[in-house]
Each structure stands twice: as structure tokens, then as C-alpha cells.
Amino acid sequence: MVSQIPEGKVSTYGTLARELNVPKASRAIGSILRANPHPIVVPCHRVVMSDGQLGGYGGSKGVGRKAALLRGEGVEVTKGRVDLERYLFKSD
């Protein structure tokens, strides 16, 4: 699921939880992604909080690295937040 989020787009922990039919599991999904042993291969940096805040990042250098990865993909990060109206990935 996370691997389907294209470069330049983000999804939210809550969206992923709803897609898994476990709508109250957004925190659990965050914990799972934080433990991701392959943070670039499985692009967990493309998952943010429901208000656009970056949230955590388990890869090296934490949330600063998450912001840098997103910026490198063309996603604007301003004050630790992504504009979801502009960058939210909507699967069909």
C-alpha cells in the first residue's frame, strides 16, 4: 500500500488505516512504519498526519530527513507541514 504512493504525493496514517478496514489503527500504522527496516524501498516518508504535519520518521536523522526526502520529490514542506489539498494521493 505505501509502495503505491507515487513520488511527489503523500498519504495519511488514517487513510491507510481506512484502506485496511481498520479505521482506528492510524497510530498502529505509524508504529509499524517507524520500524520499517527499508525506509527508502518502502517509502514511509510519504505518509503524514491527517492535518499535514510530518509526524515521526524512523529513518536516520528523523523528521528532518523525512522533510528532505519529500522536498527532493517535489513536495513543499512548510513549517513541518504538507499541503494535503495539493499533495494528497488519491487512489482510484
The residues that are catalytic are 44
Distance CA(4)–CA(74), nearest Å, equals 17
Cell 505505501 -> residue: 2
Distances (CA, A) of 24 to 51, 69, 75: 16, 28, 27
Q: What separation, in Å, do the N-terminal and C-terminal C-alpha atoms of the chain show?
A: 13
Cα atoms in the Cβ-side hemisphere of radius 13 Å centred on 51: 4
- Under DSSP, is residue 16 helix (H, G, I), strand (E, B) or coil? helix
